[in-house]
A and B are shown apart, each in its own frame.
Chain A
Amino acid sequence: MQDYFKQQADWLKTWQAQQESLTKQYSGLGEEWIKNLSGGKVRESEFFEGWFKSQGDLEEQFREFGRRMNEMISNVWSNKIPADVLKFVNVSFFEEFYKNWLSNIELPGGIKNPLGIDGGWQQATSFLRSFMAKENPFFSAFGSPNITDQMNRVFGMFQGAMGSEGGAFSDIFNNYQNMFSKCLESSTAQGAEKLAEGFDVWVKEISKQLTAPKLGINRELAHDISQALILSQGYVKASSKMARLVEETSRKASIRFQSKLSEAALKNKPVNKFADFCGLWASENEKVFLEVMGTQEFARLQGDFVDAGHRLKIQWNKLAEKALEPTPIALKRDLDLAIAEIHQLKRDMRTFKRELQGVEKEARFAREAQVAAEESAKNAKIAVKAAEAAAQDELKKAKAVVKAAEDAAQEELKKAKAAIKAAEAATQAEAKKAKTAEAAVAELAKQVKNDSKTKAVAPKAPAKTKSKKA
């Protein structure tokens, strides 16, 4: 691959060198022409001969360039990115641009540009045709592989089954196939319309065949085929309406693009750069197309076209199924049924799984609740035990306190008793003393009494002394 790239890069270098030499050649021709205008000797016809020759060379160069580029891109990208990307890449734009660019060059002296107005992209329909031919999606979504392949398969199968001796069906199939192929080859509204007209005639022919069938024709199959024909007719009509709209829009877009080109040239800002030219072409076309494509009318036409294609495809699917019925090959509807059944089972399974999960969850909750209850009972027992121990401890402490208090009380009692005894003893002693004193007093009183009796006998003074003593 590396060698290939080197080769391509070398080729590009050569191409560039050729470009430069052609540019010089053109400039030279331009100068020669200017000389001519100022009275030179070279005749105009000779001059333009050279100019057109160079132009031809240049066109060839661009064609070769486009071809090489396409080849290179395909070589490089085919193993890197999906085929879908590749089908969008089409550098034959170069050639188209070149033609368009040349056709825009105004030749001196009112000489008609040989490339004319029809060259290149100015005719947007031709571009769109190439656009479709390149299997660009959307326009070709129903055009190529899916429907035609299926049709060919089905018809091929029928034809094979009918044998080679011919007959009404073979004719019908052959004609049908040919007509439809023509329809698909034609991508213009006009072509599709012509084909639709052809269809009308042909459907009438078929109806005749079906109303008076030849011997051996399977009426059910014939009915299915005629249905397919009617649907094909509908599809062709819908596509022709769609194609007409696309053509009209392309025409509008083309006019708009050309007027923009002229506008730019009049403002002395000609669009003569490839990228700018393409950019302008794309943006102007897009504006016009989007305006149309945003309408409900377009949506309706497109819907009709798409629906017609789908109806036809469904009918062909049905025919293919019928063709396969006698064979041991599994039919699409059988597979569909099996798949649908599998899905239903999966759904049921999911429901059961969820129910199971729900039950498991409940069981888990119950288990957890049980464990929690056991744990809490265990904890309660431990707590009770601890409480009992604490209570015992408290009791002991209380008893000790009570005993200590009792002891203290006893001690106090003893002390009190001793104090009482002491007090009693003291009291008794005091009482004794008092008695003694009383006795002494009484003795004294007696003595006093006696003294008073003896007063008369004895002097008063000793009596006074006694009193003091008393």
Chain B
Amino acid sequence: MLTFPHTLKESLQDFTSFAESLKKGVENLASLDEKTTGFPDDHDSCGTCRNCRRCCSDKEVVFQDGKRKLYRYTKRADKICSVPTLMVYAMVNRYTMLDLQPNRSMIRNLLDEGQDLYLIDWGYTDRMDRFMTMEDYIDGFINDCVDFIREKHRLEAINLLGVCQGGTFSTIYAALYPEKVKNFIPIVTPVDFSSKDSLLNVWATEFDADLLIDAYGNVPGDMMNSAYTMLQPFSLSVSKYINMVDIMKDADRLADFLRMEAWIFDSPDQPGETLRQFLKELYQGNKLVKGQFFLGGRNVDLKNITMPVLNIYAEFDTLVPPAATKVLLDHIGSKDAQEMTYPVGHIGMFVSGKTQKTLAPNISRWINARV
């Protein structure tokens, strides 16, 4: 209990300083412009993202199938790695997380390290994607992209880097087409869904995935976001916005915060049939590590992954806990397999200051030693 009147003045002063922060924050909000936030007012954007956010690294579309695009990034170093790397991001959020802003961009850092980068943009799912299966995405578009790059560079195999769900897709791809993958780098990639360290894994076992897909068709991105928010319900929906008042005082931090918020809520809907497969076969059946997962009639045997593998995971990841990703090395056939860990969370892997200076150089060094 507070005692009257000793803490009264102190508390009111706290409020006053809080209001002072808010005042400054409002002034900062008033002075926000496209340059600082990346949200152009005139909607003259690159057309990549729903919220008109400009990405920080230059790229061009080199291959396209409907709304799905393959980008190639403009080189930023003199000496370029002879084997290009294809990056496959998850479908649950946008790849822009990898290229959020100049000082928080894994892509930019890799380009600076001399990597030749390609990236798959899945686009925004709509009704036409309702019946797209994992086979369509993995055996279809990923394979088409890999072939395109191989042909362009006249190479037998290229490097493959997968992130989160994109990492799972890449793992399946690498097991089906090992001859086309020179080096494989999964980052925060779930492969074993039995771990109880993630609430998602616990919850996923107790609901009917068929009902979900039959009810919604494509599952709304907002619904997926709600599930992620519920992993830390009070931190992500209360504390974050209280702390924001402190952030608002600083125009740069405010712009960073807004960019991150825009990314978080820029969630495409999930294609129904793909999500059905992902939930039933992987989250509920955990068939990938059991060797029981089939794609297009072919058994996905992780032992077929014989190329060098660098498995990177985040120590404090609540979405893909280390237990869900670490086991990959136990199931693959590679003799040259390493793991790398960072003391960060799922998203922190790509945007935290801790990883900005080390993640890309480490990946680059590992690749360069194997091409």
Q: Are A310 and B211 in contact (CB under 8 A)?
A: yes
Q: What residues of chain A lie closer than 8 Å to B23, measured between beta carbons? A: 9, 12-13, 16
- In the complex, A468 has a CB within 8 A of chain B: no
Q: Are B10 and A275 in contact (CB under 8 A)?
A: no
Rounded to whole Å, the gap between the CB of A54 and the closest CB of chain B is 11
- In the complex, B230 has a CB within 8 A of chain A: yes
Contact of A81 (CB < 8 Å), options: B4, B5, B235, B265:
B265
Q: Per-position contact with B for A96-117: 1 when CB-CB < 8 Å, else 0?
A: 0000010011111000000000
Q: Are B1 and A104 in contact (CB under 8 A)?
A: yes
Q: Are B265 and A82 in contact (CB under 8 A)?
A: yes
Q: Are A307 and B207 in contact (CB under 8 A)?
A: yes
Q: What residues of chain B lie closer than 8 Å to A273, measured between beta carbons? A: 11, 14
Rounded to whole Å, the gap between the CB of A77 and the closest CB of chain B is 8
Q: Are B225 and A137 in contact (CB under 8 A)?
A: yes
Given the contacts A296-B206, A307-B207, A347-B136, A105 and B242 also touching, CB distance less than 8 Å: no
Binds A, one of B24-32, B152-160, B305-313: B24-32
Closest B residue to A139 by CB, please name it.
B226
Binds A, one of B86-94, B123-131, B165-173, B180-188: B123-131
Q: Are B233 and A265 in contact (CB under 8 A)?
A: no
Q: Are A303 and B206 in contact (CB under 8 A)?
A: yes
Given the contacts A12-B22, A84-B225, A141-B226, A314 and B128 also touching, CB distance less than 8 Å: no
Q: What residues of chain B lie closer than 8 Å to A469, measured between beta carbons? A: none
- In the complex, A260 has a CB within 8 A of chain B: no
Q: What residues of chain A lie closer than 8 Å to B27, measured between beta carbons? A: 5, 9
Q: Are B12 and A26 in contact (CB under 8 A)?
A: yes
Q: Are B241 and A89 in contact (CB under 8 A)?
A: yes
Q: Are B234 and A84 in contact (CB under 8 A)?
A: no
Closest A residue to B241 by CB, please name it.
A89
Q: What residues of chain B lie closer than 8 Å to A138, measured between beta carbons? A: 226-227, 229-230, 233
In angstroms, Cα B3 to Cα A104, docked, is: 9
Q: Are B207 and A303 in contact (CB under 8 A)?
A: yes
Q: What residues of chain A lie closer than 8 Å to B369, measured between beta carbons? A: none
Q: Are A107 and B234 in contact (CB under 8 A)?
A: no
Q: Per-position contact with A for B65-83: 1 when CB-CB < 8 Å, else 0?
A: 0000000000000000000
- In the complex, B371 has a CB within 8 A of chain A: no
- In the complex, A38 has a CB within 8 A of chain B: no
- In the complex, A206 has a CB within 8 A of chain B: no
Q: Are A23 and B12 in contact (CB under 8 A)?
A: yes
Q: Are A275 and B243 in contact (CB under 8 A)?
A: yes
Interface residues of A in 261-317 (CB under 8 A from B): 262, 265, 270, 272-275, 278-279, 281-283, 285-286, 289-290, 293-296, 299-300, 302-303, 306-307, 309-311, 313-314, 317
Rounded to whole Å, the gap between the CB of A17 and the closest CB of chain B is 10
- In the complex, B202 has a CB within 8 A of chain A: yes
Contact of A27 (CB < 8 Å), options: B1, B5, B136:
B5
- In the complex, B359 has a CB within 8 A of chain A: no
26 A-B pairs (CB sep. < 8 Å): A8-B26, A9-B26, A12-B22, A12-B23, A26-B5, A26-B8, A27-B5, A27-B9, A69-B22, A82-B262, A88-B237, A104-B2, A105-B1, A138-B227, A138-B229, A273-B11, A275-B18, A275-B242, A290-B233, A296-B206, A306-B212, A310-B215, A314-B214, A339-B128, A340-B131, A343-B136
**A-B contact sample (12 more), CB < 8 A, given A23-B13, A282-B238:** A33-B4, A76-B30, A136-B237, A270-B2, A274-B14, A275-B242, A279-B242, A281-B238, A296-B202, A307-B207, A307-B208, A339-B130
